Amino acid sequence: MQTIFTQLTTILLLILGITPFLRAQSVSITQIPFQNIRNLIYVEGQANSQSGFFLVDTGYEGSLLLNSKHFSGKPTEQVIVGTNGEGSSLEVKVVDFHLGNIQTDDLVAYIADMTHLENSLGLPLVGLIGSTFFQDFELMFDYTGKNMILTRLDKRGKKLVSFLDEEPPTDSLSFVTKGHLPVFKARIGEVSLMLALDSGASANLFHQGTLKKLEEHLSDLNELHMNGFGLESKKTTIGLLSQLQIQGLILDPMQTLFSNLTHLNRELRGPMVDGILSLDYFGQRKVAFNFRKQVLYVWEDKPTDTSTETYMVQGRQATPATDITTIAPE
């Protein structure tokens, strides 16, 4: 039986992601409103006839994971296991999926029991959208405008759409991958770290082995119980961590949990990671993932309203007519 792990309230599903067939090939850019609830990003979408909230979870390697409350499929031998060792078996089903102006047909999705996850989050879920779904796009999160913007990329990772007066990012942070997770070189004082970044993590989670090395940079230490994907909670240490730098970008002090990440390092290929950062930690900024170039772009200043901007589509000037913009490349 294949074992698949999760962390925090997110899911790190260690299965091969399946690339969806995009019927809406003409979509070059789409803007989708999101809600930021309990440090997690939710968008509205529809799988078959079931519409509702989907958690945007780049920590999930596949394209789509659906809630067994709304879907049933064929049994598999795969299992999701949380940080506490509790698990849930998976089913598989082919669905049609709509997100903004993007429609995917015949998408292979997995199905899991999300009861405990929903209870922990306090929000009904139709499912999770994972990193494979976004592989053909630059994935931008505009926390000021509360919009998720998907811009289609060419094979080299260049955007098919670019704004004429687009501000360059303040920082461009290169990353390698641990399985499907972006991993960044970081430093706290004299301690060097490798940190993954996950939009589906509701809090920062470091390996318990780093606790002693970082103790001079920690304050307000306490203990709490952390809920994972399973039914049981696990006692963990929490504290305020200061002086984190990622490739010269200095980040504010952050609440950080410490737990055992041995399973993550064992099951995913790539460099050993010392912790997982929540994307919400960048919440006062605009950020964009380019998975093909393996770069995270960060803007320090508040983004401008793009609803009336002029931009270039493969060298052709265009102006969006609606808040959600769809442009067909020539």
pLDDT tens digit sequence for 56-81: 999 888 899 999 999 999 998 887 65
**Class level of CATH domain 2-167+299-318:** mainly beta
The pLDDT value recorded for residue 130 is 94
The mean pLDDT value of the chain amounts to 82
Q: What percent of the chain has pLDDT over 90?
A: 58
Mean pLDDT over residues 35-60, rounded?
Answer: 95
Cα→Cα distances 273→67, 182, 208, 210, 319, Å: 29, 10, 12, 11, 43
Domains 2-167+299-318 and 174-298 are alike in CATH topology: yes
Q: Read off the tokens for 149.
A: 């913007």
The pLDDT value recorded for residue 90 is 92
Position 319 pLDDT exceeds 70: no
Indicate the range of 70-84, 230-244, 287-301 predicted with least confidence.
Answer: 70-84
- Higher per-residue confidence, 20 vs 248: 248
Mean pLDDT over residues 47-61, rounded?
Answer: 94
Cα→Cα distances 36→123, 147, 169, Å: 12, 10, 22
Amino acid making up residue 317:
Q
Half-sphere exposure of 15 (CA within 13 A, CB side): 29
pLDDT tens digits along 27-42: 799 999 999 998 899 9
The pLDDT value recorded for residue 10 is 39
The pLDDT value recorded for residue 315 is 43
In CATH terms, the fold of domain 174-298 is Cathepsin D, subunit A; domain 1 (2.40.70)
The pLDDT value recorded for residue 119 is 87
Position 302 pLDDT exceeds 70: no
Model confidence at 135, pLDDT cuts 50, 70, 90, reads: very high
pTM: 0.81
The pLDDT value recorded for residue 138 is 97
Distance CA 92, CA 103 (A): 19
- Higher per-residue confidence, 117 vs 102: 102
pLDDT tens digits along 86-103: 567 899 999 999 999 999
Position 219 pLDDT exceeds 90: yes
Domain boundaries in the chain? 2-167+299-318, 174-298
